[in-house]
Amino acid sequence: MANENIETSFQDALDAGQIAGAIICVSDAKGHFVYNRTLGERTLLSGEKKPHQLDDVVFLASATKLLTTIAALQCVEDGLLSLTGDLSSVAPELAAKQVITGFSEDGETPLLEPLARPITLEMLLSHSSGFVYHFLNPLVARWREKFGQDLDKSGRLPVEELYSYPLAFQPGAGWMYGTGVDWAGRIVERATGKTLGERMHERIFGPLGITDAQFYPVTREDLRARQVDLNPSDPDGLGRAVIGGDGEPNMRTKGDFGGHGLFMTAADYVKILQSLMANDGKILKPAMVDDMFEPHHLSPEATKGHRAALASPTGVYFLVGTAPELKSTFGFGGHLTLEDVEGWYGERTLSWGGGLTLAWFIDRKHDLCGICAIQASLPSHNAAITTLKQIFRTDVYRKHAAWKNGHRSS
């Protein structure tokens, strides 16, 4: 994999039927180095096939979390929220949460304990609040199976009802990936009096000249016409291929879910990465952007929990292509490297992804950021897609280095 390139490897995967296509957008801060690439085709609802374009609308899945994090930090800058203060005045449900520690001997009654401390916005954004995805914690999964909310008549629930389950650990005392950013999105809505989508259009998309973005369900006809995840295999536009064939996350939601629900173009997403990398002040003040890339957002207990998660069987997903032995933590928005990787990521590179098919990174030290949105074929070829994401992450550095060497010699 070390010397494989995007063009050959992605084309081989296309020819083998392992993927349907891909959209890749990479840039430096000033847009002097740009690598944009589309491969393969998308299938329309009619069955007609069209070559991928840079303005195709893709399902971000968990890549939505970075944008929700930005929206929450904007509220901190505006004085509407605090990173470390008690949120119960905005979200009283949080103060009533309990921590699940087990079940009674007969397996019927959950064992719950009260919160030892309030849940803060910093905890929600850094996945140290205790809110976890049910499929990552057996106790929460069991509670959800026994006591989870029935869907309402429309088959959908808002964040506070869909994610009503207890915490997996005391706030700030552990780490596990979960629904905290969805809760942060709802708190942004309550603090601003606007939907999360409205707030993002006003304060993130507008300043960067982005117009093509909408939370599920995508209703704008101009976006639906370019929506990759609107095809005979996914007639409801749920994003099934992005998350491995199961459209449940969007099937059950009512409202704007800040943890996974956004659809937009890769070409526009890279504008957001570029703004953060350049620290141009368009969406966040420079000091707040710098803070996103600092390693102090996890408590010592949460740091231990994060390290344990990286070493666990699911750790490969949280490492997003980096080696387990690399010094790292979780910053605001993604996995944060704490040391250089020779020939690749610089110290304080922030990276994450979406579903099984999307990867993004911001390397401020080496002035490079990018996004790769692979369009999977169903059933999904997960191993091949994981390999391709890593080829994207590494090959763009070789292309960037070759470009710099060419400029030096010219």
Catalytic residues: 62, 65, 177
* Interhelix angle 64-77/266-278, nearest 10 degrees: 40
Q: How far apart are CA 332 and CA 323, in angstroms?
A: 20
Which residue in the block uniquely carries the two structure tokens 């393969």? Answer: 40
Burial of 396 (0-12, 13-18, 19+ CB in 10 A): buried
Q: How far apart are CA 161 and CA 151, in angstroms?
A: 9
Length of the chain: 410
The secondary structure of 102-134 as a DSSP string is: EE-TTS-SEEEEE-SS---HHHHHHT-SS---G
Q: How far apart are CA 46 and CA 37, in angstroms?
A: 25
- Provide the b/e sequence for 338-350 (b: ≥16 CB within 10 Å): eebbeebbebbbb
- Provide the b/e sequence for 181-201 (b: ≥16 CB within 10 Å): bbbbbbbbbbbbebebbebbb
Which residue in the block uniquely carries the two structure tokens 């491995």? Answer: 244
Angle at 178 between CA 363 and CA 311, to 5 degrees: 65
Joined together, the tokens standing for residue 4 give 């494989």
Give the number of other Cβ atoms within 10 Å of residue 135's Cβ.
11
Q: Which residues make Cβ contacts (< 8 Å) with residue 189, sequence separation at least 6?
A: 195, 196, 199, 256
